[in-house]
Amino acid sequence: MAGVPLKVYLVAGELSGDRLGAGLMRELKVRHPDIEFRGIGGPRMLAEGIDGRFPLETLSVMGLVEVLRHLPRLVGVRRALRRDALAWRPDVMVGIDAPDFNLGLERQLRETGIPTAHYVSPSVWAWRQGRVKGIARAVDAMLTFLPFEAAFYARHGVPVAFVGHPLADELPLENDRMTARAGLALPPEAEVLAVLPGSRASEIRFMGRPFLDVVERLSQARASLHAVIPAATPERRSEIEALLAERPALAGRVTLLDGQAHEAMVASDMVLLTSGTAALEAMLCHRPMLVAYRMAPATHWLARRLVKSEWISLPNLIARETLVPELIQDAASVEGISRRLSAMLDDRAGCAAQEARFAEMHAGLQRDASRRAAEAIEALVARRPLPSSVVPKTVEEAYSDGD
């Protein structure tokens, strides 16, 4: 209706979703200055004007077993959001990642006539592909980052828009290691290792101590090694500080940052991280990396039987080959990680080749994603077909064309 502000309900589940939501909100505000937002977002989305109903960390639960433990609380939150959205009557609801939570809410709202979109495809192509039928009932549009995801949904008859990745748009195709080090007051001639143990408390619990043990072991053998650790939140910083206090030998060998993950990666020679969006960001910073990941034993037991994909890190999934070493569960021992990292740091030619490959992949993912996502949302509200976009059969097809 003319003169009535557009109303968008957004639900993000973690910091990476907060960043995506903020970019989408900015693009929609350019087109609709009087637009209103409501739902769940983090600091970036709050700064863009969302009326937050619950804190962002309400949905930040990792692992199959851990979700079961928090299930009653999460069900209560979803019911509360459903009531809130139905009372507010948005023009569209957009779930940002957090598929186990958001797809159920999207289905419930879609059944009442509210158009719904899901931003960031769940890994349905990797495990439990039958879930695509439930996704088709939950959403009017799936907005995907990656071309092979769009091809999967097109084959299954789910309306889809391949929008590219907002991080690929945000991060420059060229960066300078020494400038980044100067900005973070890091030793210019040091061998810098960026360490990212995760943004969730459960990730710090599983990976924080072994990652710092790796730093301590490497610093004993490599005199110039210096670690930089960007803490995702104040809570994660406190947890990392407690772990560092147990290791006086690392005094002067570690720089702990508040956020600034991008700067830390650009400044580094190598990145050690858990899987997830951080691996994609390291790729978009064109830095060699090692992915190491541990989880609750029961969660790992289930994952081994359900996940069909050969890889877990996004750079490998995008390339469809093993560019990034992945050490999972028992392989992610302090000794195993230390040995592999040391070999990678010594292989200067290999590091240079990986950086060049990552730069090529970065260029292929730049698509002005937030604009494309905003156009798709506008189409849903207007009940128009989704904007035409490349839905390729192969990764190469997608990367060879723009619109």
Separation CA 243–CA 249 (nearest Å): 12
Average pLDDT over residues 268-284: 91
Q: How confident is the model at residue 390, as a pLDDT?
A: 45
Residue at token pair 């002005």: 368
Asked, for residue 170, whether it belongs to a domain, the answer is: no
Same domain, 215 and 335: yes
Same domain, 275 and 158: no
Asked, for residue 233, whether it belongs to a domain, the answer is: yes
CB 288 within 8 A of CB 370: no
Q: How confident is the model at residue 153, as a pLDDT?
A: 92
Same domain, 371 and 360: no
Least confident of 234-243, 270-279, 373-382: 270-279
Same domain, 125 and 243: no
Same domain, 246 and 330: yes
Q: How confident is the model at residue 299, as a pLDDT?
A: 61
> SS3 sequence, 183-200?
HCCCCCCCEEEEEECCCC
Q: How confident is the model at residue 36, as a pLDDT?
A: 98
- 52: which DSSP letter? E
Same domain, 209 and 351: yes
Instruction: Please state, rounded to an integer, the average pLDDT across all residues of the chain.
Output: 88
Same domain, 359 and 385: no
Separation CA 12–CA 226 (nearest Å): 34
Q: How confident is the model at residue 289, as a pLDDT?
A: 96
Q: How confident is the model at residue 307, as a pLDDT?
A: 59
Q: Burial level of 260, CB count in 10 A (0-12/13-18/19+)?
A: middle
Whether the pLDDT of residue 39 is over 60: the answer is yes
Q: Per residue in 184-193, pLDDT tens? A: 999 999 999 9
Name the residue range of residue 315's domain: 177-364
Whether the pLDDT of residue 366 is over 70: the answer is yes
Q: How confident is the model at residue 67, as a pLDDT?
A: 53
pLDDT band at 338 (very low <50, low <70, confident <90, very high): very high
Q: How confident is the model at residue 296, as a pLDDT?
A: 60
The pairing of strands 92-96 and 51-52 is unpaired
Q: How confident is the model at residue 227, as a pLDDT?
A: 97
Q: In one letter, which amino acid is 105?
A: L
Q: How confident is the model at residue 124, as a pLDDT?
A: 82
Q: Per residue in 278-333, pLDDT tens? A: 899 999 999 999 999 876 666 655 555 555 566 778 898 888 888 999 998 789 89
CB 93 within 8 A of CB 124: no
Same domain, 243 and 345: yes
Q: How confident is the model at residue 31, as a pLDDT?
A: 94
Maximum CA extent, the chain: 68
> What is the signed CA dihedral for 195, 196, 202, 208, rounded to 10 degrees?
10
> What is the signed CA dihedral for 94, 107, 103, 154, rounded to 10 degrees?
-80
Asked, for residue 171, whether it belongs to a domain, the answer is: no
Average pLDDT over residues 198-226: 90
Q: How confident is the model at residue 397, as a pLDDT?
A: 46
Separation CA 188–CA 8 (nearest Å): 46
Q: Per residue in 115-124, pLDDT tens? A: 999 999 988 8
Q: How confident is the model at residue 318, as a pLDDT?
A: 84
Asked, for residue 74, whether it belongs to a domain, the answer is: yes
From the list 46, 22, 159, 154, the residue with the least C-alpha distance to 96 is 22
Q: How confident is the model at residue 300, as a pLDDT?
A: 53
Asked, for residue 322, whether it belongs to a domain, the answer is: yes
Q: How confident is the model at residue 391, as a pLDDT?
A: 47
- Count CA atoms within 13 Å of residue 389 on its CB side: 30
Classify each residue of 379-398 as buried b or exposed e, where b means 16 or more C-beta atoms within 10 Å of its C-beta.
bbeeeeebeebbbbeebeeb
Same domain, 382 and 275: no
Q: Per residue in 21-32, pLDDT tens? A: 999 999 999 999
Which has more pLDDT, 100 or 194?
A: 194
Supply the CATH number for residue 98's domain. 3.40.50.2000
Backbone dihedral region of 343: left (phi > 0), alpha (psi from -120 to 50 degrees) or beta? Answer: alpha
Same domain, 358 and 227: yes
Average pLDDT over residues 74-89: 95
Q: Encoding tokens for residue 136?
A: 């088709």
Number of domains in the chain: 2
3-class DSSP assignment, residue 163: coil
Asked, for residue 2, whether it belongs to a domain, the answer is: no
Average pLDDT over residues 53-70: 67
Asked, for residue 386, whether it belongs to a domain, the answer is: yes
Q: What is the pTM of this model?
A: 0.71
Average pLDDT over residues 330-340: 93
Asked, for residue 63, whether it belongs to a domain, the answer is: yes
Same domain, 391 and 263: no
Separation CA 112–CA 246 (nearest Å): 54
Same domain, 144 and 200: no
